[in-house]
Every structure is written in C-alpha cells, then in structure tokens.
Chain A
C-alpha cells in the first residue's frame, strides 16, 4: 500500500503511456513530465506569493492581504487577472524584439533546471549522468536574459540594475558551484539521482544526510547564502534596490511580462532550494527511519516549504547590503570558505570513521570561519560613514 502511494505518479504515467503508440512514447513521456512540473511549480509560485505577503505582514505587525477569498487565499488569482488585463507598455526607444524575448528566455531557463531534480523516488524527469552540470548550464542562461532585459529597455536604471545583477550572479556562482563539489565528492557522481541515493541510509533512526557532517553543514550554509544571492533575493536584492535604481532591470516592464519576471525569479528560487535539498538534505528521503511510510514526494515538498519559509524569514529580518559589502563578502569570505570546505571534505573522506574525524572536520571549518569573519569585520570600517558628495 505504501509502495503504491509512493509510486502513484510514476504508475499513473506508465498507465497513460501504455495507451499511446510506441513511436511517440519518448516525446509523450517528456511532455507529461514537463506538464507536471509546470503545473506543480506554477501553483507553488501562486501559493508562495500569498504566503510570503502574509508572512512579511506578520513580521511587520500587520495582517497582510486578507480581502480576496477566505483569509485572502485567492489573492494570487486576483493578481494574475490584474497583470493579464494591464496594458503592455513598450518604451518608444526600446529594442522591441529583445525586449519581448527577455522574460520568455528567463522563464524557460528557470524551468529547465527542474528536469534533473529528483522530486521523489523514480521521479526525475531526465536522469542525466551529468545532471548537476546541466543544472548550472541551464541557470547560467538566466544572466543573459537579465542582460537582455536591462539593455533592451534603453533606461539607465535598468542597465545599471542588469550590470549589478550580472556582477553579483557571476561572483556568487563561484562559491555556489564550489560548495556543491563537496556533495559530489561524497557521492562520487554528478547525477542528482545518485547523490540522493547515497543519502538514503539510516544509522539507528538518524538519516545519512550530508548536512549532518561538518563539511556538509558548512557547504549547505554556503550554498544557501550563494543561492539567495543567485536568485537576487533580500538581503542581496541590490539589482532591484527600489530606493536607488527603482526596480533594476525590469523597470520598463508592465503587465504580463512583469508577471513573467516575477514568476522566473520565484521559479529560480525554488530550483535553488530544490537543489539544496537534493545535495545536502537527502532529497526525497524521510528525516527519520520510522517515517519512511510517508510518500517520498511528500518529504521533498515538505523540505521545500521549510526552506521557502526560511527565505521569507531571512527577507523579513536582514537589511539590504551595499555593493562593496556584497563584493567583499563574496570574494573575501565565501570563496575562501568554499575552498577550505572542499579541503575539509576531502580530509573527512580520507580519515577513518570515528570521533577523530568529527573533531578534525569541525576544527578545519570553525577556525578559518572565525579568522575570516574577524578579518571581514575589521576591514569593514564600521565607524560613521563619511559622505563625499552628499554634504
């Protein structure tokens, strides 16, 4: 019974495929997976917008949207209708074709990454041998879409926003990829399916997730920080910086195209969270051995919702960084920490199991963390800022 519940979507897909002719089955199978991913994550997007607005409202001691439907739950529907019926304004001097293509490229590139995420047992759309490489290749196209949007608008604010966004994404892509290498080393494969498989064991009731090792924990934290920066979310939302450059690269977008940017941003964020779950939080594996009766996809989406809640919490808590702080943090803290973490992971790999490797692994990460953090605090002259031009 639990087996059937676990595999219900896989069985359903096989049932549908059995009725189609053999020649179109591969295409049909891919289309079914794509439709499922599109529907599920678009719904999750709608759900997250309302949850985020309500959550932020509670953090700021107000109610948040509560007019449309019960508890305001139909707000995303109203928002969608509004953005669909709004006038689509294209600036007179804008580059029409590129201006139109940018949001489409962004959303397509954001969705491409999901093809390799294992959403449950046997529920990977394409199980590629170089899955992780594919994920990063797909997400690197997002930078190009952002540039297209910023440049084609012919607006200095959107161009500045695009330059900021690209500089930030390139800087944080390095620690992002370096922190994933630790999980790849432990699993011995670039395939996302194999990485999850290697974390499904239990000792006693405790799972073998990579996050429960010193290097895995540091890798997870580094990955999430770099991932937040990669998806341009607060506190790394400088590309949008309403107070400085109004809304960054999508100032000149309105109506449905604006909604597409919004969608692309959230879809990218879910993809990063999904990858974090796959690499460090055991993917679809249950958190305790006595909870394995629940279906695997349930655990994936439960973890995804927890991570999204964490991101909303971070957004409500931390103020936005300044550009120099952002770059200093990336190159003087994240990058050295990611490299040291790589070294710690290989040391862990080659020391025999036992208390000694826990001690060595923790020291190898904690000492550089303290030293680098202290260096960062001292180099950031934290006295009153002098304004050169504003006086």
Chain B
C-alpha cells in the first residue's frame, strides 16, 4: 500500500520534472522524485542511504541546480519550442529501452527470490566496512570530490578572468 503511494509520487515527480515548461517547476518536481526515492530506500531497509539521499540530493544538488538556473537566467518560462528537433525518435528510443528492461525484468528469475529477514544494519557496520573493506573506494571518492571542487571553481571562474 505505502509502496504504491510512494511509487506513484516518485514516477509522477520524475515525469513532471521532464515535461514541465517552467524550469523551476521542473526542479521542484525533481525534488519530489528524489524524496520518493529516499522513501523507497527506507522501505527497503537502507536507512543510511535514504537520509544521505535527502541530504545530498535535496539539500545540495537541487540547490546547486537552482543556483545555476538563476545565474544563467533560464528561470523564466520558455516562450519558444522546448523540445529538440528529433524528439519523436528520442522518445521512441526511451520507450524501447523501457520495454526491453521491463521485459527482461519480467522474464528473469529475480522475481522468484524470497526476501531475507531484515538485516541488522547499523551505522557502525557501515562505518566499519567503509574504513576496512571499502577504504580504497572511499579515498578515491574523496579525491574525486576534491578534484571536482577545484575543477568546478576553475571552469566557472576562467571566463571572468579573461574578460577583465
């Protein structure tokens, strides 16, 4: 029951994010989709990932997109055509991708899997494995984030310096 409600919210948010004309409305719909996904994670018992999803996507990525939108003055409703020329082919491709995915999910053996009893995942478990088994990916992610930070600042700054 709650799964159906959350799923409808998530898909509706995603659809609205891709179809609305006003960009800010798109971002707000995107936030609904992100929150719905966090709800699905919580239902699946991944509490930490669910809260991290809200913290990162709603608190950071959505705000970042909004800032970019205001800085590029694309927050006004669009007057002209909003879709790319080859939109019929593109949407057909997307529908085909969904049909193939859905068909393969339906026909795969994964549906027969029975659910295991809910594992006792504490934050301590996650921290322990982050610091032991997954320490290399963690360091690489840290490096990547630092590089992305420096890179983003450089890219966004460069043009301004040349103009001066």
A interface residues, Cβ below 8 angstroms from B: 95, 98, 128-130, 133-134, 136-138, 140-141, 143-144, 147-148, 151, 159, 163, 166, 170, 173, 188-191
Contact = CB atoms under 8 A, between A and B. Distances in A.
A171 B58 CA distance: 16
B58 A141 contact: yes
Given A133-B51, A143-B59, A144-B62, 8 more contacts: A98-B28, A136-B55, A136-B59, A137-B54, A137-B55, A140-B54, A147-B66, A148-B28
A7 B47 CA distance: 29
A151 B73 CA distance: 12
A190 B123 contact: yes
Closest 7 CB pairs of A and B: A140-B59, A137-B54, A133-B51, A137-B55, A137-B51, A190-B123, A130-B123
Given A147-B66, A166-B63, A133 B58 contact: no
Interface in B46-89: 47-48, 51-52, 54-55, 58-60, 62-63, 66-67, 70, 75
B26 interface: no
A149 B87 CA distance: 34
Contact of A147 (B48, B54, B63, B124): B63
A295 to B, nearest CB: 30
B33 interface: no
A133 B48 contact: yes
Contacts of B66: 147, 151, 166
A133 B55 contact: yes
Helix, strand, loop or mixed for chain A's interface? helix
Interface residues of B, number: 23
Interface in B9-38: 22, 24-25, 28, 31
Contacts of B122: 129
A188 B28 CA distance: 36
A141 B123 contact: no
Contact of A189 (B22, B52, B123): B123
A141 B28 contact: no
A367 B31 CA distance: 44
Nearest to A101: B28
Helix, strand, loop or mixed for chain B's interface? helix
A170 B48 contact: no
Contacts of A134: 51
A349 to B, nearest CB: 15
Given A130-B48, A130-B51, A141 B67 contact: no
B76 to A, nearest CB: 10
Given A129-B122, A133-B55, A137-B54, A143 B48 contact: no
Given A151-B24, A151-B75, A133 B59 contact: no
Contacts of A144: 28, 31, 58-59, 62-63
Interface hub of A98, A128, A137, A141 (most chain B Cβ within 10 A): A137
B161 to A, nearest CB: 20
A170 B24 CA distance: 19
A151 B27 CA distance: 12
26 contacts: A95-B22, A95-B24, A98-B28, A128-B47, A130-B123, A133-B48, A133-B51, A133-B52, A133-B123, A134-B51, A137-B55, A137-B58, A140-B54, A140-B58, A141-B54, A141-B58, A143-B63, A144-B31, A144-B59, A144-B62, A147-B66, A148-B28, A151-B66, A151-B75, A166-B63, A191-B123
Given A148-B28, A189-B124, A130 B47 contact: yes
A144 B35 CA distance: 13
A137 B122 CA distance: 18
A148 B66 CA distance: 10
Contacts of B22: 95
A165 B66 CA distance: 13
Given A128-B47, A130-B47, A190-B123, A166 B55 contact: no
Given A140-B59, A144-B31, A166 B67 contact: yes
